[in-house]
Amino acid sequence: MKTCKFCLMVLLFPFIACSDEHKVERVEAKYESLSDDVFTRMPGNLLLVDDYLVWTDPFTTDCFVHVHRVSDGKKVGVMGKQGQGPDEFITPMVSPLCYNRSVRAVDANGKTRGYLSIDSLLAGKNPLVSFADEKEAELYKVDDETFVGYTENDEPFYLKADVNGSGVKSFGDYPIEDVKHHVGGNLAYNHERDALVFAAINMPYLALYRKSERGFTKEWSTESNDSYYDIVNGGIRFDRKRKGIPEVCLSKDYIIGLQRDYTVDDMDERKVGRDVSKCPHTVFLYDYEGNLQKIVNLGIPVMRIAADHRSNVLYAIGADPEYVLVKFEL
């Protein structure tokens, strides 16, 4: 195992958040290599499920979920069989939100759906556990009493949730207020902070919602940057030259966004394609009040990230030059 110590280089520059000017640190980090056993044309999700790292392979013809121990990076098994037989997935789709040491998976073109249990995998049992009811099929379960998901275009609110069995209720603002269309993005949930974060892929937009016994309430959101899109015939047309936050995860102290630092890396995103060497090298660290605190240069191109709610450890799949599963101390 190759180990590199975390190193720090700080450069301060002004950043405007709300009405206050503050300094944002620029830091450089080096990684600890956990595993190079990541063989795929392009990795799908990367998830931290308790003490296991899970990555998915959307291009495989075999098992699409790979499970590694966090402690040493060793792969302990695979699950989620692709195919057309019983308990197999034709077109598997894996949720970025996990529950109860399990990964939520549904078949976009078949009937198989449920949770893939790490505990069952380790015990040598069939890891697929079917959903208990339709609510689990419609919404993401994030803890014992909380389900979240998206509404449909043109509905009054952007998100929906069922908290403590109170029934499904809609909430949340559309990122582009003038058009009630979903913009594409990712949800992340920190159960220790009762914080649900939405990040948009095609523009630098973040929103944080806090859970209470009654449901979720928005605490803050960043402003939509209209330089990233145009409204054409009532729809949204994004400027594909730049992206927003294609990946987001939550650590103990930070909302972590995989974002390109265009001030030093003015890449035209239309030219990236599947050239992993052109993926972003940086993550942006926001506090839970929405203030950008640090921009971290990870030193390698990164395409997937995951974080530990209990610490400020970041896990990632990067390219050096082949795919590698790595760890950073932030």
- Tell me whether residue 35 is in a domain: no
Question: Of 327, 328, 325, which Cα lies nearest the Cα of 36?
Answer: 325
Q: Are residues 328 and 251 in the same domain?
A: yes
> Quick one: pLDDT at residue 21?
59
CA distances from 145 to 39, 101, 161 (A): 37, 16, 10
Q: Are residues 114 and 173 in the same domain?
A: no
**108-116 contacts, C-beta under 8 A, 24 or more apart:** 110/84, 112/87, 112/88, 113/137, 116/65, 116/79, 116/80
Do 168 and 213 meet the contact criterion of CB atoms below 8 Å apart? no
Q: Are residues 234 and 257 in the same domain?
A: no
Q: Are residues 125 and 184 in the same domain?
A: no
Please name the amino acid found at residue 224: S
> Which tens digits make up the pLDDT trace of 267-294?
999 999 999 999 999 999 999 999 999 9
> Which tens digits make up the pLDDT trace of 82-118?
999 999 999 999 999 999 999 999 999 999 999 999 9
- Tell me whether residue 251 is in a domain: yes
- Tell me whether residue 39 is in a domain: no
For the cut 80, the answer to whether the pLDDT of residue 19 exceeds it is: no
Q: If you average pLDDT over residues 42-67, what whole number do you get?
A: 97
> Quick one: pLDDT at residue 13?
41
Residue 23 tokens, joined: 């300094």
Q: Are residues 145 and 132 in the same domain?
A: no
> Quick one: pLDDT at residue 226?
82
Do 293 and 24 meet the contact criterion of CB atoms below 8 Å apart? yes
Q: Are residues 218 and 182 in the same domain?
A: yes
Query: Angle at the Cα of 50 (from 282 to 62), degrees rounded to 5?
Result: 80
> Quick one: pLDDT at residue 26?
96
- Tell me whether residue 40 is in a domain: no
- Tell me whether residue 102 is in a domain: yes
> Quick one: pLDDT at residue 215?
96
> Quick one: pLDDT at residue 17?
40
Instruction: Work out how many domains the chain is built from and give that number.
Output: 3
Q: Are residues 232 and 147 in the same domain?
A: yes
- Tell me whether residue 165 is in a domain: yes
- Tell me whether residue 204 is in a domain: yes
> Which tens digits make up the pLDDT trace of 152-194?
999 999 999 999 999 999 999 999 999 999 999 999 999 999 9
Q: What is the dihedral of CA 159, 186, 227, 289, to 10 degrees?
A: 80
Tell me the pLDDT band of 245, cut-offs 50, 70 and 90.
very high
Q: Give residue 147's domain range.
A: 139-240
Among 240, 272, 295, give the residue marking a domain's end: 240
Q: Are residues 16 and 88 in the same domain?
A: no
Among 207, 240, 273, give the residue marking a domain's end: 240
> Quick one: pLDDT at residue 223?
85
Q: Cα(66)–Cα(178) distance, rounded to whole angstroms?
A: 41
Instruction: List, in sequence order, the alpha helices (H) in the chain.
Output: 118-122, 134-138
Among 116, 137, 158, give the residue marking a domain's end: 137
Q: Are residues 195 and 222 in the same domain?
A: yes
Q: Are residues 275 and 330 in the same domain?
A: yes
Q: If you average pLDDT over residues 41-51, what whole number do you get?
A: 96
Q: Are residues 124 and 145 in the same domain?
A: no
Q: Are residues 123 and 79 in the same domain?
A: yes
- Tell me whether residue 36 is in a domain: no
